[in-house]
Structure 1
Amino acid sequence: MDAQLHVFETVAELRSFSRAAERLHMTQPAVSQQIRALEDSLGVRLLERNNKSVSLTRAGEIALRHARDINGLYRRMGEMLDELMRQTGGPLSIGASYTFGEYALPPVLARLNAEYPAVRPSIAIGNTAEIADRLRSRELDIGIVEGEEIGGGLEAEKLAEDEMYVAAGAEHPLAGTRPVSPDRLAEEIWMVREPGSGTRAATDRMFESLGIRPRRLLELGSTQLIKETAEAGLGVTLQSRLALRKELGLGSLKLLDVPGLPVRRSFLVLTRKGDLRTRTMDAFASLLRSVTAEIVGKT
């Protein structure tokens, strides 16, 4: 890895020469020397320094974006070359959207540890748009998301089909109503995820298909918070059957009989276009498909 770019990325991330020196196990003068050498070679000032903090110049912001890409490519090259010399293992950066990451990924990780203990996974959870962006910027090796709006630069392979239902608390007035009309649903408070979420996109499509204009949307950034709010009786929500499995078993949430449901969508496996897949990625992808099929089959 280019030492100057690595030092620059670390200083830019920590906004401190002293903290960067500590992380890199270097002296502070050595860090400063590397930054000066990089600025001299590029012919531009990258960092503004004062006694209390360090900030990026406009040129520094541009350089940081490219430094992350270059450093990521160096790391990737090292991992792939290392794999040629040994068994499946090493670091694997996995990104997952909230529904899959919180309700399907844990048993996948348990199986991964049992079958490939040399693999060292790191997990990032976010909405679909966030995971796709982090994969494009090479912060992640592989992503699992729901939804269709993933943007360019990525390959998407269908992993499994997900079914989504409208749910409400067990004591909600609609819990015993069969069927529930779109007009009646429009009167309810709807707990929804934020824009960029695959669950929010599926909810918006359902509203459109049923001709629903809810009187109020309550936007919440966590599926767990949405479920607990529904259990408290505040309103209704559209959620994956995977996410509702525990509450349905306990009886704290009930599925509503809504004509035209379930809403169906796909879980997708995302990788970068043109990238070679390592042995570790292939092993994880194979195990991911196997375990996901078991999980989805039980819902």
Structure 2
Amino acid sequence: MDQHLAVFITVAEKQNFSRAAEELHMTQPAVSQYIQALERTMGTKLLERTNKYVHLNKAGEIVYHHAKEILGLYGKMHYLIDDLTNNPNGLLSIGASYSFGEYVLPHLIADMQKKYPQIKPAITIGNTKEIAELVLGHQLDVGIVEGQYREKNLKIEPFAVDKMSIVASPKNRLSHIEGEVSIRDIEKEIWIVRENGSGTREATEKLFNQLNIAPKKILEFGSTQLIKESVEAGIGISLLSDWVIRKERDFGSLAVIKVKGLSLTREFSVVLRSPFQTKALSVFLKLLKG
């Protein structure tokens, strides 16, 4: 009966069988059958139908009000039972942009596997735009993206601030300037940037606009690791997350270039499509937000 109530609530809120079917990933005839079955159980019509829309009648309003409460309690009951048994399990599909996915996410997954070994994570790495589109298409349970991505059909919630730095090879001339370098110094350099759709690319373009610079030569590479290797080799300079360059900075294979008055940060955000969360997803989000 909980499925019948869930379908009824969706139809009532969408005011349209077709839109409800799309939201529920069901066919329209199947949605109609659920509504008819619920009306037979209640012994009365619950919806007033027109050519384009459906509206709750008085009986429908009563059922809608109590159905919301019933499903809320039903969901809470399952959540509490799961907490009691401490047994979150099943497949959890996680998508993340390169910086977070390759340098931070593995440590979170390791912690989750120690505490909840029955959760089976499946990881997809892509740029911010790619990950958001996969969540929107219901191909991922959750995404982690960079920058100021916006999409009206997604819930996007910032959860962490990432500091970014301009980096160069220790052999680069900028690395030998004592103190802070000038804006014109970095403008003269070859810049290595990520592809369009990347949160790191967005941050780099924001930096160019902020400093009002237009580097004469820009190389576009589709991998953060490739950019790091290229910077180390002395091809050019780049803007990268401090998480990404942590090891190279400690080992001295990359140098951080200080620019006077410049402080660079961006947000990492959680991206969700469905308001409903499995226990596995709830566990992951709790770990993610610390």
TM-score (norm: length of structure 1): 0.68
Q: Distance between the aligned counterparts of 2:206 and 2:137, measured in 1?
A: 29
1:260 offset after TM fit, Å?
Answer: 3.3
Work out whether residues 128 and 150 of structure 1, in 8 Å CA contact, stay in contact via their aligned partners in 2: no
What secondary structure is seen at the aligned counterpart in 2 of 1:180? Answer: coil
**Unaligned residue ranges in structure 1 (runs of 5+):** 1-65, 72-79, 291-299
1:278 offset after TM fit, Å?
Answer: 1.7
Alignment correspondent of 2:160: 160
What secondary structure is seen at the aligned counterpart in 2 of 1:242? Answer: coil
What secondary structure is seen at the aligned counterpart in 1 of 2:204? Answer: helix
1:238 offset after TM fit, Å?
Answer: 0.4
Give the residue type in structure 1 aligned to 2:145.
V
Give the residue type in structure 2 aligned to 1:144.
I
Q: Distance between the aligned counterparts of 1:70 and 1:161, measured in 2?
A: 39
Query: Counterparts of 1:45-56 in structure 2 under 5 Å?
Result: none
1:168-223 per-residue CA deviation (whole Å, 9 max, x = no partner) reads 01111101213221112111110000010000000000000001100111000000
Alignment correspondent of 2:234: 233
Give the residue type in structure 1 aligned to 2:254.
L
What secondary structure is seen at the aligned counterpart in 2 of 1:224? Answer: helix
Q: Distance between the aligned counterparts of 1:70 and 1:113, measured in 2?
A: 34
Residue 222 and residue 279 in structure 1: after superposition, are their counterparts in 2 closer, same or farther (change >3 A)?
same
1:145-169 per-residue CA deviation (whole Å, 9 max, x = no partner) reads 1111232211112211100010001
1:263 offset after TM fit, Å?
Answer: 1.1
1:261 offset after TM fit, Å?
Answer: 2.6
What secondary structure is seen at the aligned counterpart in 2 of 1:214? Answer: coil
Residue 173 and residue 257 in structure 1: after superposition, are their counterparts in 2 closer, same or farther (change >3 A)?
same
Alignment correspondent of 1:283: 283
Query: Counterparts of 1:165-176 in structure 2 under 5 Å?
Result: 165-176=165-176
Q: Distance between the aligned counterparts of 1:234 and 1:254, measured in 2?
A: 14
Give the residue type in structure 2 aligned to 1:130.
E
Work out whether residues 165 and 256 of structure 1, in 8 Å CA contact, stay in contact via their aligned partners in 2: yes
Query: Counterparts of 1:81-100 in structure 2 under 5 Å?
Result: 87-100=87-100
1:68-119 per-residue CA deviation (whole Å, 9 max, x = no partner) reads x559xxxxxxxx9xx7786211010000000000110010010111000010
Work out whether residues 129 and 150 of structure 1, in 8 Å CA contact, stay in contact via their aligned partners in 2: no
Q: Distance between the aligned counterparts of 1:70 and 1:124, measured in 2?
A: 26
Q: Which protein is bigger by CA-based radius of gyration?
A: 2
Aligned length: 215
What secondary structure is seen at the aligned counterpart in 1 of 2:148? Answer: coil
Q: Distance between the aligned counterparts of 2:93 and 2:158, measured in 1?
A: 20
Alignment correspondent of 2:223: 222
What secondary structure is seen at the aligned counterpart in 1 of 2:122? Answer: strand
Alignment correspondent of 2:61: none
What secondary structure is seen at the aligned counterpart in 2 of 1:202? Answer: helix
Give the residue type in structure 1 aligned to 2:111.
R
Q: Distance between the aligned counterparts of 2:126 and 2:229, measured in 1?
A: 20
Alignment correspondent of 2:189: 188
Q: Distance between the aligned counterparts of 1:99 and 1:264, measured in 2?
A: 13
Work out whether residues 165 and 261 of structure 1, in 8 Å CA contact, stay in contact via their aligned partners in 2: no
Alignment correspondent of 2:111: 111
Alignment correspondent of 2:45: none
1:250-289 per-residue CA deviation (whole Å, 9 max, x = no partner) reads 00000001123331111111111x5211211111111122
Alignment correspondent of 1:249: 250
Q: Percent identity over the alignment?
A: 43
Q: Distance between the aligned counterparts of 2:93 and 2:256, measured in 1?
A: 35
Q: Distance between the aligned counterparts of 2:199 and 2:278, measured in 1?
A: 28
Give the residue type in structure 2 aligned to 1:129.
K
Alignment correspondent of 1:205: 206
Query: Counterparts of 1:7-86 in structure 2 under 5 Å?
Result: none
